[in-house]
Amino acid sequence: MLVKLLSGKSFFAQIILGILFILLFFIKTQTLSFDWQSITGIFLFFISIFVSLLLYQNSPLIKHQGLVFWYFLIWMLCFSEISLDFKLSAALLMSTLLFWRLIVADQSPENTKFLFDVGILLSISGFFFPPGFLLFGFLLFLFIYMRSVTLKGFILFLIGISLPLIVGVQLLYLIGQIEWINSYQSAFCMDFWDFPIWGLIPIGLLIILSWLDHLAQSATQDINKRQKYFLNFLYFTNWVIILILFAGENTDALAFLGLPLAIFLTRFTQYQKSNTVKEVLLWLYLATILGFYFWENLLEIYEDLLGNVAF
């Protein structure tokens, strides 16, 4: 039933999922107090959601939009409290735009404007979340593997990455945000993630299975799609490394993985021959997210039940 609804050509499923996402988001956050920073963060968060959904609509990797909406919106709802931190929300938006720019770009060496745009987006992302500068590793590997970079393009990239930083720091001085500037001194101190993610192991296994399935089918796929999938893999891997090193106790930083994760799982699901298998994958994903999100509540219920039995 769920497979037929999400695999249909109608926009009905996407509209319903979008409405449910908005309703559940505001129900989830209605008890919280908001200031201008959190309101700004929510605004940026929803823009990044919108940009991601537009990217999916234009991606040759996705055949069934309902499926990618399902995987992406559920993941982002689970970690939606990232929106209350406007710096992380801004970094999320900029990294999403960066990914889109790479996906749709004409990546010929003559397209120097592309490198300038990438530099600006990377710089703004790093300005709000300094570990985001480590996406440079992803870009460097991408340029070496998929294209050559001319001297002119490299210079434009440096200009693009420098301008927002120079302007941003000057603005912070003018408005008296010295603490923000001083925070950059400790921005790259290791803060290894310190939150239990074993509840997401089933999703991790599904991602690995999706990679293996892609490798098995790669010989029959268009080279352009293979390159875009590899780009998705590099982006995902780079963010996993960044979060391992700097996420600390901030579980909601896992929202950065939502964009590529949804592509992996959608590709894996849409090419399954059996609708039963597809149905199982969709419900298993939902059950895993619910179990992860409500784990503490489930533990309390379990402990209460044990207490009653012991009594």
What is the spatial distance between Cα 13 and Cα 188, in angstroms, rounded to a whole number?
A: 42
Q: Where residue 311 falls among pLDDT bands split at 50, 70, 90?
A: very low
Instruction: Examine the pLDDT at 141 and tell me if it is beyond 60.
Output: yes
Half-sphere exposure of 307 (CA within 13 A, CB side): 6
Return the top range by mean pLDDT from 115-124, 141-150, 188-197, 255-264: 255-264
The reported pLDDT for the residue numbered 273 is 86
Instruction: Examine the pLDDT at 90 and tell me if it is beyond 90.
Output: yes
In this structure, which amino acid lies at residue 110? Answer: E
Full residue range of the structural domain in which residue 96 is found: 2-310
Q: What is the pLDDT of residues 171-230, one digit of tens each?
A: 888 887 777 777 777 777 887 887 778 888 999 999 999 999 888 887 777 777 888 888
The reported pLDDT for the residue numbered 310 is 46
Instruction: Examine the pLDDT at 298 and tell me if it is beyond 90.
Output: no
Our count of domains for the chain comes to: 1
Instruction: Examine the pLDDT at 140 and tell me if it is beyond 90.
Output: no
Predicted structure pTM score: 0.89
Arithmetic mean of pLDDT, 97-102: 88
Instruction: Examine the pLDDT at 257 and tell me if it is beyond 90.
Output: yes
Note whether 94 and 262 are within 8 A (CB).
no
Arithmetic mean of pLDDT, 56-85: 90
Please name which of 267, 266, 286, 256 lies closest in space to residue 90, comparing C-alpha atoms.
256
Q: What is the pLDDT of residues 12-46, one digit of tens each?
A: 778 888 899 999 888 888 777 778 888 899 999 99
